[in-house]
Structure formats: C-alpha cells, structure tokens
Structure 1
Amino acid sequence: METGEGSGVSSGPGGPDGPGPRAGCASFNQDSTSLAVGMQTGYKLFSLTAVETLDCVHESESPEVYIVERLFSSSLVVVVSVSTPRRMDIYHFKKGTEICSHSYPEHVLSVKLNRQRLVVCLDESIYIHNIKDMKLLKTLLSTPSNPSGLCALSINHSNSYLAYPGSATVGEIVVYDANNLNTVTMIPAHDSPLAALAFNASATRLASASERGTVIRVFSVPEGLRLFEFRRGMKRYVSISSLSFSPDGLFLCASSNTETVHIFKLEQLGPRCSVCSGGDEASSWTAYVGKMLLAASSYLPAQVSGMMSQDRAFATVHLGASAQRNICSLAIIQKLPRLLVATADGQLLIYNVDPLEGGECTAAHTHRLFGAGGDQGEGSEAEGSEVTGPEQACPSYAATAALPASGPVTATLTGYSEDGGAKRGEVIPEHELAAGPVCLDDENEFPPINWCRDGTGGGPARRC
C-alpha cells in the first residue's frame, strides 16, 4: 500500500478458471493520506489526517467490492465488484456521478493510478490509460501469468514508471515507462517469483520481495542497480503482502502473514559513518571498519558479500495476531512519523515510530473500519499537536520537516472516442467521456463531469 504508491490487500479475484473474485479489500492512496476499504455491502473512504479520529469522507452501497482505489485526495475513485469482475467503474464520488466504465477480456486483478496514467492489470495483459481522458494508450499483451495482479506504478508526475513481473518462475522485474510507452530495463531481482513491489515517491528506487519472503531488495531506477538488501528472517518462508517507502524514501516497511511488521532504514554505510565521525574516535573507528568491510565485500563470492550487505530491521511492530493478511504504510500524521497497518479483519492500527533510535514501535491508536467495536485508544498524543492535511505532508520522515503546500495540478479534458470490437487486447468502452475542454483540478474535483441517461433508464450513458 506507494504507496505508495498505493498498496492494497484483497481477498483476491480468481482467474478465469478459478473460483472467481470475492469481496473485501483495503488500499492506501498514493501518498497515504487516505484509506479505501471494500466490503460485501459497499466501500468506504477514510481521511488519515489525525491519529485519534478517523474521518469517513465517503460511503457507498455498491455491493461486493474487491478493488477500490482513490486518486490522491481527489474525488476520483475506481471500483471493481464481484458481480462485474471484467468491468472497471470510475466515479466522481463527491458529485455522485459516474465518469466512465471500461470492460476487459478477463477479470480485473488490480488497478494503479497516478496523475498521468491509470493501469489495469489482468492475468496475462496490462492496459495503460491516459487518466486525463481515459483513452487507451497501450496494451501489453502476453505478459507472464500474474494471477495476483502484482504491479507497482510510481507517483512521480514526470516519471510514471510501471513495474511488473517479467517471469512466472523467477523474480524478474520489468520496469516500463508509462509516459513514453517503452521498456526501461529488466531487473533479475530474485530466484523465486515476485510477491511485492513498491516505488519510492521520487521514482528513483524500487523495492521488491519474492514468494520466499526472506530477503527484500532495493534497486535504483532506471538503472536497475542493487542498492540495498535486507533480511527479514531466515527461519521460515513468509508471504509478504506489502512494501511501502516513507515519504522521504529513507525508510521501508514490510508486512506479511506473520505477527511482525519490519521497518528498514535505507542508509549507505560510507556517508552515514562520515557524518558521524566528526572528531569522535569511536565513530572514526566505526567508519574505518565499515569502509574496510565494504571494500572487502567486493572481493568475496557473491553469496558471502551478499550476506555482509544485509541488515536487520531498524524498527519492528508485533501485531496481536498472525496469519492474517494486512497492508502497511509509513506516513507523517500530525507532524510525527507513523506506521499504519490495515488488517484483513477491518482494523487500522497506528504506531509511533522513533526515526532516530528505531526499536519496537509504540501503539498510538486502533480504529475499527467496519462493524461493531468502535475506536480503541492505545496511546495518547502530545498536547498541542496540529492536524496537517494532505497538502502539508512531510517529505522527511526522519526530520519531520513540513512540506510546502503545492497548488493544484490543472489540465484540459478533451474527451475521446475509440473503435469498438471485442478483439483480444482492445478495451470495449461502455461509455464516452464528456466533451471538453474542462478545467481539471485533480486535488478537488477530478474530473468535474456530469452524466445523464436516456429516458428509458436502461440505455447507455450519453453526453448531457
């Protein structure tokens, strides 16, 4: 949940020959300022701007939702339901209007979006749309079988990188430029198939984990060079359900089907030690030893040098229950660094993180997302804490420095039309977008479109 790029947890749709999709999902939006939860009876959108209060900004009665994704803090929300698993519906939830719908040849397994692109992942194909007018720009056919719909889309507006599995048998990652519509690189990340992917906010790093779940690696983008390797455990294989970078990209959290959530610190040995070695003999000695180990690792066999480069978790959280799927995210809430964990049983767990010392994170609050139980306080906030909105999110997770507010991103919505047909690889548009030009403010009203239907009530939507 890069979040960051927006990461999610779902009961998961089956393939065309499988048991089919089941309702239930949760996903953080691209900057972890919002949480979307899908249920049998509908879906809810929550604002994540305070610790002790959870504001439900929208609730829909659309039944059996198994995919729900919100675009940042805008009014655009994407929904896929069990009853129509091949159709993606896009709504302007503040106006209660449907923007458009698209149908696909197979079940929709995942949807990722940023301010430039909307990506729909099927089992063996990927569809890339221009989010400004929903026009289909590219179809990647015959991709390796990807029954979980695993993919990641960076949120950086100038680099819309898409990462997806390049193999069904080993952990190869394809990095694709969704803006320029070309393949950037192929990364041989793991020996076993991929289980999780996540970009940092600046789209300069990509984290990955395999189905074994013992090693998490971080690569440079677009070069594909291995930068970090973290070992979350050696005793048992686990299923990693989510990876998420902190807003400043200095921390990475990982959740799995175990009771522990790990937070890793991404710092190079050399620069870290050179900073701490100002006149301190102990620090200088540490820097010297660190440099010697780093230099020696280049002469050792790959297996040995790899073990030397691996670090244990900087901070951890021990959840009350294990063996349930969950997603995690790192965010700044009320000017302090937090770890957010959304669990499959409908809870949002918020923890305080010490960005300097690490260690065991302290529980701050527990929220019940649906059903009985209500909020369960597990900590108290310091007096005078100030709520910061999405536009005031902090870029430095360690220093918790305020991010200057940015103005709304604007564009022109011009509408489009496509040829019909049901050939493989072609989207079958059920509706057309409204004619433009329309001023688009994607932080408040994205896109501001009105719809109407013909008098019979059963016909397709048409332009008003």
Structure 2
Amino acid sequence: MNLANQPSDSNSNLLFVNFNQDYTSLAVGTKTSYRLFSLTSVDKLEQIYEHDSEDICIVERLFSSSLVAVVSLTAPRKLKVCHFKKGTEICNYSYSNTILAVKLNRKRLIVALEESLYVHNIRDMKVLHTIRDTPPNPLGLCALSINNDNCYLAYPGSSQIGEVQIFDTVNLQAVTMISAHNSPLAALAFDTSGTKLATASEKGTVIRVFSIPDGKKLFEFRRGVKRCVSINSLAFSADSIFLCASSNTETVHIFKLELPKEKPTEEPSTWMGYLGKALMTPANYLPSQVTEVLTQDRAFAIVKLPFSGLKNVCALANISKPRVLVAAADGFIYIYNLDPTDGGDCTLLKQHRLDGQTDAGSGGLVGATAGGSAGAGEGAAGAGGAGSDDQSDGEQAAMGYSPAPAKTFASATGGSRNVDLLSSSPHRSPAREPMIPSTVDHRHDELLVTADADDNQFAAPGIAAGLNQLRLDDDNEFPPMMQHTE
C-alpha cells in the first residue's frame, strides 16, 4: 500500500505499509525510516528492525529472510536491495521512470513502472526480461504468485476495461488474457498455490476468482449493490478457502470459496409443483444482469472498521487462530477474530501503532533494538530460510488450514532453467535494450558469494550436487550481485 500520493491521516507519517508473502511480517515505510514487524502475537507488535533513512515509499521483504527491497521518494527511480541484518546494501538498480511497485518471491523480483515491467532473477538480480509498452498503469497494479511451480505474474492488459494479462515468469512468455470486468482493474491477488486469481474493478461491486492458467471463472462474489467503491486490496487465506476484500468504506468483506452443494432433482408431480419450479428458475425469465445478481454469493464474514475513506491493506493470517489483519493509513494495524465455521461479524481484538508515534488508544508497540531482536521473526531458519515458513504452516494445520508444504529456497532456485537474457518479449516487447549503463562497485566484494560445493550441504534432498545451490541464511544469504547505477 503506497501512500506517497494518497490522502492519509494528518497524525500519521506513513508512506508505505505492506505484509510479506505469507503474512508473518509487516513492512512499514515512513518519512524518516522503515521498520519491520513480526506478526506472531495479537497482544503485542514486535519490531524486529528499524533503519533511519530518507523517506521510504516502498519496502518489500522476502518472506522472513533478511532480504528487503526499498525505494525512496528522494530517488524514486532507484531500487535498493539490502540485507537488513547486516545493515548492508547488496545492490541497486536505476530505471528510466518512477518505480510504482516491487513484488518478490523465491525465484523472481518484479519492478513495475507505468508502462513497463522488469523481471529479475532474484538469485543474482540480473534482468531476465522486460515487458515493454504495457497499457498505462499509473498505480503499478500487478500481482506475483509466491508458488515456485506456478510462478505467474498478473497485470492489467487494458486501461479501458478489466482485462488481466497472465505471464509466466519462469518460461518468460505470455500465458493467457482474462476478460475479468467491464471496468478497469483495481485489485489483483494470487492464492498461495498460484492456481487462483482474485480480481476487482474500479466499480468495486463484484469480486471474481479465476483458475490459473486457463482463466476459467470459478467464483463470483457480490460486495455491494447500492454504491461503487474503491477496492484497496484482496487477500486469500493460506488454504485458499477464504478471500478478504478491503475498500475505502468502513467494511471489509470475507468470502468463502466453496462450491454449492448439488441437491437431488425431483420432477414435480402436480401443477403447483411445475409452477414452483418455473419461479425458482429466474434465468429463463429475467435479464442476464438480474440473474447474475441473484446468483452471486454474499460475504461469509464482515469486519467493521473504526474509520472510512482511508486507504488500507488487508490479510488473512493465523496468529494462534484465524485472524483478519487490516493496516491503514491512520497509522494503525487492526487485528480481528474470524470464526471459520459460522462467520458473521468479526470482533476487534487489538490495534497497534505502526509509525512509532505514541497514542493512548494504541494496543501497545513493543520496539526492540535491531541487533537484539533481528531474528525474532526468523524462527530457526535453516536451508532456504524455511524455519518461519514451517512454523506458520504448523499453526495453520492446527487451526484446520492446510496449505501446501513450503519448499526450501535451495530446491526452488536450483532447478530454475537457464534463460537467454537477451530474449525478446513474447508480449508487446521488442528485443530487450540494455538498462542504464552499470558499473561494478568493488566496495561490495565482501557480499559476493559463490554458491559452490560448500552450499550443497544445505540443498534439499534429491537435489544433485554441483547445481550451484543457493542457501538462505544470515551469513551467505544471496549470491553475486553488482551495483547498477546511473
């Protein structure tokens, strides 16, 4: 949630707020610093890192690792990739225009400009592909699947209607175009498996879910009928059973993705039976627009926020139990209880201040020193940084959520295919031109890591030695990287 050009609460100095990929951490950018918080407790919000710097308008963390990507208002065309535990900048890239969004998973890093998208290999930060001449996308709207096997990118295929372009970031080719809405897109979100995509348009009344990669419509949810709203964010639960949608209103809707149970059909035996059956089949008698409204599912649960009109971002996480998290432009994160069985109104459990300012109404902010608590959100991270991921999955399993087991980073990157870096784009992209001339900064040689045989002891079972495995730990977290500057 980028607030740099958005109206926000006058008492807050927030510029950016976003959850990490599995909702175990929260990144906050302010006018003077950026902070990382661990989302492991309802009663306290534990700060695991703070860096005083210029005004940070984008900060994205890779799962629970020490890798963060940051962009400042002072240099909005420059992306910095940092190792926050070491307090070291690994590399930086400069682009031809303002960076509007950055998305990460264990294979790729995506940089969104208004009319182009850059696909980086997160292993060495090389630009694998550039998608040029995309439809104007002033908000940098896009979504990147976090699944290694379904590593898809979704972005608007039109600025006039709600078309979604699906792009395979591993094979570097366009997959399909989905005609999702009649109005331009406002929000996109993949589920954890990368096989479902939720969409919302600027009209904001209908949320749709499509299967990926074929683009078949699976679900359609009615958020409202009376008024159009601005959808701020969409988010799936880890098991893809629930989907939440937040907007500029005071209501967050939680929908349940379940197929209607088929009832046995019985042929009517009387005249009244035939009449009743006819009346229960409106599709035969009513306009299609009316039929769609009648057949769309309504919200399973609802959150009532204490404000309206402020931009916010929502998430569905497991913190002991299923919770709805809403981080807002007023400088607070709100934590609500979600009843996965009965739904209904969600109860506010706690609220915490995000921007470091004190507030009597806050649920309390526990700020720890960066050095002493840097590992608080890490868990016992081993190869691939999977420690915290495994812990999250265990909590989800205990609560009835059953996400797919997380793969280690080593197994994810070791099997990635080699790609011609100068290949032309299969979608609106001429042959890739070099980026802004780059130079190597030898001051960062101590950060350049060779993924050799020593790293293979951290590889996942079944991965052959000699594949240049990349281990994700505190000492050697990321491989050779160069500094690219103007």
- TM (norm. structure 2) is 0.77
Query: 2:316 matched to which residue of 1?
Result: 330
Is 176-185 or 295-304 further displaced after alignment? 295-304
Q: Which residue of 471, 476, 481 corresponds with 1:441?
A: 471
User: Which residue is equivalent to 1:317?
Assistant: 303
Secondary structure of 1:46's aligned partner: strand
Deviations 1:187-237 (A, max 9, x none): 111111100000000011100111111111111111111111111112211
Is the Cα–Cα contact under 8 Å of residues 448 and 479 in structure 2 kept in the other structure? yes
Shift of the alpha carbon at 1:389?
4.8
More off after superposition, 215-224 vs 442-451: 442-451
List runs of 5+ in structure 2 lacking aligned partners.
7-12, 265-276, 365-378, 380-386, 423-430, 442-446, 456-469
Map 1:30-429; keep pairs closer than 5 Å: 30-270=21-261, 297=283, 302-334=288-320, 336-370=321-355, 371-373=357-359, 376-377=362-363, 389-394=388-393, 399-401=399-401, 408-410=408-410, 411=413, 426-428=434-436, 429=438
CA distance in 1, matches of 2:62, 2:279: 44
Distance 1:30 1:407 in 2: 14
1:391 Cα deviation (Å)?
2.1
Count of residue pairs the alignment pairs up:
410
Task: Give the SS at the match of 1:150.
Answer: coil
Query: C-alpha displacement at 1:309, in angstroms?
Result: 2.6
**How large is the Cα RMSD of the aligned pairs?**
3.4
SS in 1 for 2:50: strand
Q: Which amino acid aligns with 1:241?
A: N
Whether the aligned pair in 2 keeps the contact of 1:185 and 1:223 (CA below 8 Å) is yes
SS of the residue corresponding to residue 144 of structure 1 reads coil
Distance 1:191 1:37, change over 3 A: same
One-letter amino acid of the counterpart of residue 171, structure 2 = N
- Contact 2:32/2:53 (CA < 8 Å) preserved in 1? yes
User: Contact 1:298–1:305 at 8 Å: present in 2 too?
Assistant: no
1:412–1:403: structure 2 CA closer, same or farther, 3 Å change rule?
Answer: closer
Change (3 A) 1:294 1:267: farther
Indicate whether 1:11 and 2:4 are aligned.
yes
The SS at the match of 1:391 is: helix
| CA contact 1:141–1:425 (8 Å) conserved in 2 | no
User: Secondary structure of 1:392's partner?
Assistant: helix
* Superposition TM-score, scaled by structure 1 size: 0.80
Q: Which amino acid aligns with 1:66?
A: C
Distance 1:353 1:202, change over 3 A: same
Higher relative contact order (CA 8 A, sep 6+): 2
- Contact 1:54/1:367 (<8 A) preserved: yes
Percent identity between matched residues is 51
Question: What per-residue deviation string (whole Å, max 9, x for no partner) do you get for residues 307-348 of structure 1?
Answer: 2331111111111111110000001112x1000000112101
Distance in structure 2 (CA, Å) of the matches to 1:298 and 1:436: 67
In structure 1, what is the Cα distance between the partners aligned to 2:475 and 2:278? 55
Q: CA deviation at 1:451?
A: 9.3
Inter-partner Cα distance in structure 2 for 1:238 and 1:407: 38
Say which SS state the counterpart of residue 129 (structure 2) adopts. strand
Residue 48 of structure 1 and its aligned partner are, at CA, apart by 0.6
Change (3 A) 1:9 1:302: farther
Gaps of 5+ in 1: 1-7, 14-21, 275-290, 379-386, 453-459
1:227-285 deviations in whole A, cap 9, x for unaligned? Answer: 111111122111111000000001100111111111011111136x79xxxxxxxxxxx
Partner Cα distance (2:146, 2:280) in 1? 33
Structure 2 Cα separation of the partners of residues 444 and 250 of structure 1: 34
Distance 2:221 2:484 in 1: 51
Give the CA deviation at 1:298: 8.8
Post-superposition shift, 1:400?
2.8
Counterpart of 1:172 in 2: which secondary structure?
strand
1:12: Cα distance to partner?
A: 4.1
Aligned equivalents of 2:186, 2:100: Cα separation in 1: 14
Q: Helix, strand or coil: the match of 1:198?
A: strand
Q: Distance in 2 between matches of 1:89 and 1:293?
A: 62
Tell whether the 8 Å contact from 1:354 to 1:361 is kept in structure 2 after alignment: yes
Q: Per-residue CA shift, 1:75-117, capped at 9, x if unaligned? A: 0000000111111000011111111111110000000010011
Checking the alignment, whether the CA contact within 8 Å between 1:11 and 1:24 is kept in structure 2 is yes
**8 Å contact kept, 1:231–1:312:** yes
